[in-house]
Amino acid sequence: MEVTNKIVIITGAGSGIGKATAIHFAKYGATVVVSDINLESAQKVVDEIATNKGKAFAIKANVAKFEDVENLINTTVEKFGSLDVIVNNAGIGPNLLKTHESLLKDWDRVIAVNQTGVFYCMKVALQQFLKQGYGNIVNIASLAGLKASPSNISYSASKFAVVGMTKSAAMEYATKNIRVNAVCPGYTESALLDQLLNAKPEMDAVLKSVIPMKRYGKTSEIAEAVVWLASDSTKFITGQTITLDGGTSL
């Protein structure tokens, strides 16, 4: 996949899908800005990439704060001269309550990170992409943004929003050499899945029963799709949601 020498920002890259994606981009020759709200976690990913002779740099950012997003993108452009790709991965999960039981603070927190944070990153990145005449956005949505996800109202709302924002922006900038796509992972081995299974261990058998492949996805499998969408191999793809769910949506 052709991403050699591309400058790539990945939010929420200190763990899970974000970490795997950072490692994959570096493996294929990109320079990766590993961003996370936890700078220590981000730096550990940078160190791992450096150990494998990759190029990476850590920047702390809370995507729910617009000034942090501006600093993330402006610092990247100042340091490397441009920005080729931004992967909007940072996200958090809810407390798994039915809609009438949902806590207002949980709604506000999830929407702030998963929805508003993606909007902030898209807004600032697009301003840079328009200046330089090209760019690529890959948003990490979810199967919960495509189909019903009970006891998950804030997370589902945020991920449906990410799919909608992806499609809207793709149409707006299709003639500007800017592509916008999303990936929609199903149940993937990650901190969010661990959170669910720790709260309800009985869900392990339930979830696997609805996955035709009878297993969870691996973060490396999601990362491969993200790198592919960001590569020069997919120049005619925009506004798409690539579903990686082991057949669950079937």
What is the rounded distance in angstroms from the CA atom of residue 83 to the CA atom of residue 162? 21
**From 28, 120, 134, 155, the catalytic residue:** 155
Angle at alpha carbon of residue 13, lines to 76 and 182, rounded to 5°: 90
pLDDT for residue 9: 99
- pTM of this structure: 0.95
Sheet holding 55-60, edge to edge: 55-60, 31-36, 7-10, 85-88, 135-140, 178-185, 241-244
What is the rounded distance in angstroms from the CA atom of residue 49 to the CA atom of residue 56? 7
The domain locations on the chain are 7-244
Assign domain 7-244 one CATH number from 3.30.70.360, 3.20.20.70, 3.40.50.720, 3.30.70.100.
3.40.50.720
pLDDT for residue 196: 77
What is the rounded distance in angstroms from the CA atom of residue 209 to the CA atom of residue 203? 10
Q: Is 120 among the catalytic positions? A: no
pLDDT for residue 190: 82
Per-residue tens of pLDDT for the chain, all 250 residues: 699 999 999 999 999 999 999 999 999 999 999 999 999 999 999 999 999 999 999 999 999 999 999 999 999 999 999 999 999 999 998 778 999 999 999 999 999 999 999 999 999 999 999 999 999 999 999 999 999 988 889 999 999 999 999 999 999 999 999 999 999 999 899 877 887 788 888 889 988 999 999 999 999 999 999 999 999 999 999 999 999 999 999 8
pLDDT for residue 203: 83
Which residue reads 């990170």 in tokens?
113
pLDDT for residue 193: 83
For residue 181, the SS3 value is: strand
pLDDT for residue 230: 98
Per the CB < 8 A criterion, the answer to whether 180 and 166 are in contact is yes
